[in-house]
Chain A
């Protein structure tokens, strides 16, 4: 039995990587599900994605269907959350808004991650001038609030989803680079990076195979925090008139339109705010749960049998 031919083990290791990844992903999701907070996050985010997809093909009423005789209606069997000042269905607007918010969150996180990684790559670059320059640039730009960047961008671009995504992605990317810098520097100065470079590995190859995996935990947490903040920023920027343009459904849009009639119809303002709060809580809990579940130090199930507690 010990004489098993070599090809047996090589095929196992060749398919081992993707299968190992799926197994780990399964363990991670099950671990998150086992905790109350993780389960809450998974359910809310799942529902959010589902509603966004459904809203593309179906909402209880068309969001453009207005009725001048039926404005500010109370919740009823026909209009589950009532109607707004134009007689349009509040529930349908919130459903449609969820896809805009999902789009903003996904694009912002992708942009922030890409921009942040680019900055990290510059920080660990072996061109000293580039590395030092990027440290200075990050330290200088990080104290500029995202809302100022958004206002700047809104001058030429007008109110648009692009403004939110660019401003938030820029700000959160800077944050990510700053937070990830210590672990990235540690990895960049390590022996295995030295030896990889000595063996002629190119700079991008070293970056993606050695440095990115080392900053993964930081990346996960920062991305989930960014996602939550992006939802809040959408609400704020849309209210300030530089976010989602009027006519495009979003939670921030629903919140801002109900603000003007707060004294007359207080109930309508409840729903969009509640949804934003629940979504942001879920995104934050998701990041925490994912970090704990994906870290072999805190999740014994990822290390196999040996999970005995250290004193």
Chain B
């Protein structure tokens, strides 16, 4: 089960973005997708979610739990989004609906997919807020009153509220400062593992992948150029594209990683 992508091609307004991509995320697995900006990483997540722009054309195969997604009408994809797959966005500040309170935002997937009473919904939302570390009194606040880290916690809670089997995190930490980045990654990893869900973690930054994923793919200019266990890839990248990304990550982690991460960890497997 999980998601299996075979020979995926995506073009936007005739410009090819993805070219013959193969990618597997098995149940319970945490997989990284890394590549420089502009390599087409986000298009993979958008293709799985059915969020490609209307001008895009998509061929190939995306099988989610054995079900073919390519060519599925939007209404059927919508039934899967937020129920079978949850997504965490890069910029919670702009992605969260500014008109919804935190409570209503997190409740949205529940409201759209399940017929639960308002009382039960509130109970589940408050429990989820507790899990992601959001104080109870934020329930009635609007996103613009929250810090960047709190906003991303709302994003994670929204993605997880329906307990989907697959979580896609598209650069979830890029818009955050480095301390908050670490907290958010640890939170995501622990919650995904606790739920036994699969995670596709998209980033341009290898240093984040090191403890968030077990396996990873390297994407460059629309092609998967390398794949393997994350630790092996970090130690000995085989392609020049991967080594560029790894050395960039080393330059960063030299400062961040030496200040021991064990204390702040909330239980991610390493």
Q: Identify the A interface with B (CB < 8 A).
A: 308-311
In the bound assembly, the distance between CA atoms of A310 and B39 in angstroms comes to 8
Contacts of A310 in B (CB 8 A): 37-38
- In the complex, the answer to whether A311 meets B41 with C-beta atoms within 8 Å is yes
Please, how many angstroms separate the alpha-carbon atoms of A308 and B12 in the complex?
12
Does B42 touch A at the CB level, under 8 Å? yes
Instruction: For A309, list chain B residues within 8 Å (CB).
Output: 12, 15, 17, 38
Known: A311-B39, A311-B43. 6 other contacts (CB 8 A): A309-B15, A309-B17, A310-B37, A310-B38, A311-B17, A311-B42
Q: What is the CB-to-nearest-CB distance from A142 to chain B, in angstroms, rounded to a whole number?
A: 28
Which residues from B are CB-within-8-Å of A311?
A: 17, 37-43
Give the shortest distance, in Å, between B9 (CB) and chain A (any CB).
Answer: 15
Task: Supply 15 A–B pairs (Cβ within 8 Å), ascending by A.
Answer: A308-B38, A309-B12, A309-B15, A309-B17, A309-B38, A310-B37, A310-B38, A311-B17, A311-B37, A311-B38, A311-B39, A311-B40, A311-B41, A311-B42, A311-B43
Q: How far is the CA of A308 from the CA of B17 in the complex (A)?
A: 10
B residues sitting closer than 8 Å to A (CB atoms) are 12, 15, 17, 37-43
CA distance A175 to B41 in the complex (A): 42
Q: Main secondary structure on chain A at its contact with chain B?
A: loop
* Count of chain A to chain B residue pairs whose CB atoms are closer than 8 Å in the complex: 15
| Chain A residues, CB < 8 A from B41 | 311
- Residue of B with least CB distance to A309: B15
Per CB-CB distance, the 4 closest pairs between chain A and chain B, nearest first, are A311-B38, A309-B15, A310-B38, A311-B42
Interface centre among A308, A309, A310, A311 (most CB of B within 10 A): A311
Residues on A with C-beta less than 8 A from B42 are 311
Expressed in whole angstroms, the Cα–Cα distance for A308 and B37 within the complex equals 12
CB distance from A114 to the nearest CB of B (A): 39
Bound-complex Cα distance A248 to B37 (A): 61
For residue A298, give the distance in angstroms from its CB to the closest CB of chain B.
Answer: 12
User: How far is it, in angstroms, between the C-alpha of A311 and the C-alpha of B40 when the chains are bound?
Assistant: 6
In the complex, chain A residues whose CB is within 8 Å of the CB of B38: 308-311
**Which residue of chain B is the closest to A307 with respect to CB atoms?**
B15
Q: How far is the CA of A311 from the CA of B41 in the complex (A)?
A: 8
Q: B43: which A residues are within 8 A, CB to CB?
A: 311
| Docked CA distance A309–B41 (Å) | 13
Complex formed: what's the CA distance from A308 to B15 in Å?
A: 9
Minimum CB–CB distance for A250 against chain B, Å: 42
**How far is it, in angstroms, between the C-alpha of A160 and the C-alpha of B24 when the chains are bound?**
74
Q: Which residues of chain A have C-beta atoms less than 8 A from B40's C-beta?
A: 311
Cβ distance B52 to chain A, nearest Cβ, rounded Å: 12
B49–chain A nearest beta-carbon distance, Å: 15
Give complex CA distance A309, B55 in Å: 14
The complex places the Cα of A58 from the Cα of B41 at a distance, in Å, of 63
Distance in Å: Cβ of B42 to nearest Cβ of chain A: 5
* Least Cβ–Cβ distance between B14 and chain A, in angstroms: 10
Which A residues touch B37, using CB under 8 A?
310-311
CB distance from A143 to the nearest CB of B (A): 28
Give the complex CA separation of A126 and B41 in angstroms.
Answer: 47
CA gap between A308 and B220 in the complex, in Å: 13
Bound Cα distance A308, B39 (Å): 10
Q: Least Cβ distance of B12 to chain A in Å?
A: 7
* Residues on B with beta carbons closer than 8 Å to the beta carbon of A308: 38
**Nearest CB in chain A: distance from B11 CB, A:** 10
Cα of A311 to Cα of B45 in the assembled complex, Å? 12
Once the chains are docked, how many angstroms separate the CA of A196 from the CA of B10?
47
What is the chain A residue whose CB lies nearest that of B42?
Answer: A311
